[in-house]
Amino acid sequence: MKKILPPNAKISKEAKEIMQECASEFISFVTGEASDKCHKEKRKTVNGDDVCWALGSLGFDYYAELMKMFLYRNREAEGDKVDNNQNIKAAVSYTPFSFNVMPG
């Protein structure tokens, strides 16, 4: 969190804990959607493609595309068989978030 903020900005312990809770809830939300898909398909293992699908299904299309790109590159690096017909973009433009710190 400190990397994105100005050097003089401080982050309270409470803010860090809340961000951790939000991240955990988000992961649980996406994983739950992916798990439901697997259950409907009578599969027991959630894989990366399921997580990408869940992100898109939940309206996080931008993140789904980034995850697809990451998953594809990771599989290539691991030497896994990669299906070039997966419709994964070779490059996705990245727009970093920006935060404004309110004086106070």
Domain spans of the chain, in order of start = 13-78
Enumerate residue ranges in the chain where pLDDT < 70.
80-104
Q: What is the pLDDT of residue 87?
A: 43
Q: What is the pLDDT of residue 4?
A: 87
Whole-prediction pTM value?
Answer: 0.69
Q: What is the pLDDT of residue 65?
A: 94
3-state secondary structure of 44: coil
Q: What is the pLDDT of residue 78?
A: 84
Cβ–Cβ < 8 Å for 63, 55:
yes
Kindly report the CATH class assigned to 13-78. Answer: mainly alpha
Cβ–Cβ < 8 Å for 54, 30:
yes
3-state secondary structure of 84: coil
Rg value, the chain, Cα: 17
Q: How many helices (H) and strands (E) does the chain have?
A: 3, 0
Q: What is the pLDDT of residue 16?
A: 93
